[in-house]
Amino acid sequence: MDTPAAASLGEFDLIAKYFSRPVRRAVLGVGDDCALLEAPAPGMHWAVSTDMLVEGRHFVAGVAPERLGHKALAVNLSDLAACGATPRAFLLSLALPCADEAFVEPFAAGLLALADRHAIELVGGDTTGGALAICITVIGEVPAGQALLRSGARAGDDLWVSGVLGDARLALEAWRGAAALAADDLAAVQRALELPQPRVALGLALRGVAHAAIDLSDGLAGDLGHVLARSRVGALLDWSALPRSSTLAAQPQPLQQQCVLGGGDDYELLFSAPTSARSGVQKAADRAAVAVSRIGTVQAEAGLRVRWPDDRVSAWAARSFDHFASEG
Ligand code: ADP
Ligand code: MG
């Protein structure tokens, strides 16, 4: 088939031009029927995860392609971070409405820049026409028995979170017209939504320190709920300790609650650790150059509770952002 125009390449040209790079750690990368990876050293496990982004569900049409490339890999690296795994290789499956280089070039640039920062290699994938969708599978390594799991939280543990919460959701609410922000505040929360920084170094530093961990993709209350269910415990969160940007802290209280607790797209790490590990957690955070906040306590009694600034404690539904629901 002829190439219709200079700006539109065929499938194989597109792969060759943007997604074929020499591999260093992998034995064989893009171009054959399979990629070949050296098996991990004895005593190591593979850590494997996949995440899909669909236009209209996970991002809005018209988002900058470079940011979309970044985010598609970032959300996957975030899953490796939550397990305390070292990133190794990834596969990229793309559905594109057309082979438009004006889209693919910056998309690949954003994606591969983040890949290089985390020393993770693109070793293969699949490319097809269709409504825009991006599915990435990441492969990492973790010492056997040391992966951070959702099931490890114990009553009496501290609960911790990295970074600040709720800015990504605030950007979504601003886009929906539910919040009005000054231009520079809007730009800052949009960065939080579109350019999340996966906490890989923190996840690695928390191995042997944290009891349980999860990355926050669907909101604090819901994702904490997954940890509580898997660990068969409950929790008390201290509202005043939940880290917020000055932009979010200036919003009305109900919107703050919706963004911080309901949230979505934070891609921070939520983890539990014994109270005896407080200095160990701080050292891990320093090593990873990420701020962490102690936000509550794991309790034996099931359910999620929040302590408000007036000391009142109330139950809070541990509900996640649901991509099948119209409202999150
Ligand atoms: P197959 O016919 O076996 O599915 P393809 O023709 O789809 O193979 O892909 C050819 C090669 O290009 C394979 O090595 C595949 O892993 C790689 N590939 C295809 N699409 C992508 C992509 N979006 N990113 C990286 N590698 C890709
Ligand atoms: Mg294929």
CATH code of the domain containing 83: 3.30.1330.10
Could you read off the pLDDT of 105-137 as tens digits, one per residue?
999 999 999 999 999 999 999 999 999 999 999
User: How many whole angstroms separate alpha carbon 220 and alpha carbon 161?
Assistant: 9
23, 101, 127, best to mutate for ligand 1 pocket (most atoms within 8 Å of CB): 127
Could you read off the pLDDT of 5-24 as tens digits, one per residue?
445 688 889 999 999 999 99
Q: What is the DSSP letter of 39?
A: P
Whether residue 223 sits in one domain with residue 118:
no
Write the residue with the smallest CA distance to atom 18 of ligand 1.
125
Which ligand is closest in space to the CA of residue 126?
Answer: 1
pTM (two decimals): 0.94
103: helix, coil or strand?
helix
Per-residue pLDDT at 318: 84
Q: How far is the CA of 156 from the centre of ligand 1 (A)?
A: 49
Which ligand is closest in space to the CA of residue 31?
Answer: 1
pLDDT < 70: residue spans in the chain = 1-8, 320-328
CATH code of the domain containing 160: 3.90.650.10
**Residues at Cβ < 5 Å from ligand 2 ion:** 126
Our answer on whether the CB atom of 126 is closer than 6 Å to any ligand 1 atom is yes
Per-residue pLDDT at 275: 98
Which ligand is closest in space to the CA of residue 90?
Answer: 1
Of the candidates 310, 228, 220, which has an alpha carbon nearest to the alpha carbon of residue 266?
Answer: 220
Residue range of the domain that includes 175: 150-315
Q: How many domains does the chain have?
A: 2
Per-residue pLDDT at 139: 98
Q: What angle do CA 171, 176, 178 make, to 5 degrees?
A: 85
Q: How far is the CA of 224 from the centre of ligand 1 (A)?
A: 37
Q: In what order do the strands lie in the sheet with 133-143?
A: 44-54, 133-143, 86-96, 121-129
